[in-house]
């Protein structure tokens, strides 16, 4: 998994990202294991970890930092960067299910192959960024484990995009083809 810490600079029109270091979430010394070990026993069934607290665990305090998940095509012609906003966790004895919330920062094709495009890049500031969620799991919990990436208890087989046009707010959806638009008129 390619989770990376970036220094983030915000201007009026753009976000500038400069890669700082990889972020280790899994493994016995990873940030998920470190966080779960600090939780009281009665809080392991349901917890949330904001990005600022995650960065603090990683030793990044002061300044503006972000955690990005980076995906590129095999030929380096397509890049996607998702900014982590929150991790929701649910622990069992030796397993932890995770729901990660992201904002889409950049999703585009490049004019030519650029293997290290993500070292420094700019993205437009979105008034309302697309949001998405992903389910992951690690094989560790309060009772121990190796904290490696494992299979999630919920197998969706897809990334979940949060509603953008009124589905969450109860209003009519002008772009909807599911019948909801007609039901609300």
Total tally of structural domains belonging to the chain:
1
Rounded average pLDDT over 101-128: 82
Instruction: Classify residue 160: in a domain, yes or no.
Output: no
> What is the rounded distance in angstroms from the CA atom of residue 123 to the CA atom of residue 70?
14
Nearest of 139, 104, 144 to residue 124 by alpha carbon: 104
- pLDDT tens for 27-77 read 999 999 999 999 999 999 999 999 999 999 999 876 799 999 988 766 666
Rounded average pLDDT over 110-123: 75
How many Å from the N-terminal Cα to the C-terminal Cα in the chain? 44
Instruction: Classify residue 136: in a domain, yes or no.
Output: yes
Instruction: Classify residue 167: in a domain, yes or no.
Output: no
Alpha carbon of 69 to those of 21, 66, 105: distances in Å?
12, 10, 10
Instruction: Work out the burial of residue 34: count CB atoms within 10 Å of its CB; fewer than 13 is exposed, 13-18 middle, 19 or more buried.
Output: middle
Instruction: Classify residue 170: in a domain, yes or no.
Output: no
pLDDT for the residue 156 = 55
pLDDT at 169 over 80: no
Instruction: Classify residue 175: in a domain, yes or no.
Output: no
> What is the rounded distance in angstroms from the CA atom of residue 75 to the CA atom of residue 62?
36
What are the structure tokens assigned to 79, written together? 């890049």
Instruction: Classify residue 180: in a domain, yes or no.
Output: no
pLDDT at 155 over 80: no
Tell me the pLDDT of the chain averaged across its residues. 81
Instruction: Classify residue 85: in a domain, yes or no.
Output: yes
pTM across the whole model: 0.78
pLDDT for the residue 111 = 66
> What is the rounded distance in angstroms from the CA atom of residue 53 to the CA atom of residue 32?
11
Q: Answer positive or negative: Cα dihedral of 65, 69, 72, 78.
A: negative
Show the domain range for 74.
Answer: 3-154
Helix (H) or strand (E) holding 141: strand 131-141
Rounded average pLDDT over 100-118: 79
- CA–centroid distance for 29 within its chain: 20
Residue 110 three-state SS: coil
pLDDT for the residue 178 = 44
Instruction: State the Rg of the chain over Cα.
Output: 18
């Amino acid at each position: 998994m390619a989770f990376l810490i970036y220094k983030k600079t915000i201007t009026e029109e753009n976000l500038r990202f400069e890669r700082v270091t990889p972020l280790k979430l899994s493994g016995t010394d990873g940030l998920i294991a470190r966080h779960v070990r600090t939780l009281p026993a009665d809080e392991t069934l349901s917890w949330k970890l904001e990005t600022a607290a995650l960065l603090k665990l990683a030793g990044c305090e002061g300044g503006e930092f972000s955690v990005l998940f980076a995906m590129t095509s095999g030929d380096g012609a397509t890049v996607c960067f998702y900014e982590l906003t929150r991790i929701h966790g649910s622990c069992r004895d030796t397993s932890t299910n995770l729901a990660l919330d992201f904002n889409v920062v950049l999703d585009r094709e490049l004019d030519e192959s650029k293997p290290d495009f993500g070292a420094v890049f700019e993205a437009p500031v979105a008034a309302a960024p697309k949001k998405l969620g992903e389910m992951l799991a690690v094989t560790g919990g309060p009772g121990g484990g190796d904290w490696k990436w494992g299979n999630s208890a919920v197998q969706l087989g897809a990334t979940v995009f949060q509603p953008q046009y009124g589905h969450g707010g109860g209003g009519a959806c002008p772009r909807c083809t599911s019948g909801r638009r007609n039901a609300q008129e």
